Amino acid sequence: MTGRADRANPVPALVLSEYLPYRLSVVSNKASGLIARAYQARFGLSIWEWRVIAVLGGGEAITAQAICEATAMDKVTVSRALRALAERALVRRRTSPSDKRAALVSLTPEGQSIFDEIAPLAMEWERSLLEGFSAEEKRQLGGLLDRLWQRADELARNDGGLP
């Protein structure tokens, strides 16, 4: 067989505009782009740099690997973002006291100041984006996204889970 469906086992046609991964990606890009304009213009940050700052904004020093896991960004993207942020003195690295091979990353006071300025804007964009959703719809959306996240993690652990 050449990979095409036969008449006994038809495969539904791919309609990109209805394909969930595509729709999630497009919505994510549009939503991220809204706030991105503000922090790119004001602070010269890329989306990837902002995501690193946002993860570190809680004040805890973490490893680059933990940043990758928290953001679902690959190692190369995180490494580039950290390098750019370090060059601007927005993050600092120090050796982990528990593992001398690992570096812990945290925001500098200037990096924290940028986070403190952008975070309320981000929350306002989120509020605006969800305007018109009821409290129950917001709760349901959050729950559904959590379930999708968990399922994607399960599939990733099982090599995609595809036959």
Task: Dump pLDDT digits (tens) for 114-138.
Answer: 999 999 999 999 999 999 999 999 9
Distance CA 163, CA 159 (A): 10
94, containing H or E segment: strand 91-95
At 92-109, the pLDDT tens digits run 999 988 888 889 999 999
> Are 31 and 38 spatial neighbours (Cβ–Cβ below 8 Å)?
no
Give the tokens for residue 55: 């993860």
Q: Domains of the chain by range and CATH?
A: 34-121 (1.10.10.10)
pLDDT digits (tens, 9 = 90+) for 1-54: 445 556 666 778 899 999 999 999 999 999 888 888 888 988 999 999 999 999
Strand, coil or helix: 15: coil
Q: Which of 116, 118, 50, 59 is nearest to 84 (CA)?
A: 50
Judge whether 89 and 31 are in contact, CB under 8 Å. no
pLDDT at residue 16, rounded to an integer: 92
φ/ψ of 60, rounded to 5, equals: -85, 135
Q: pTM above 0.85?
A: no
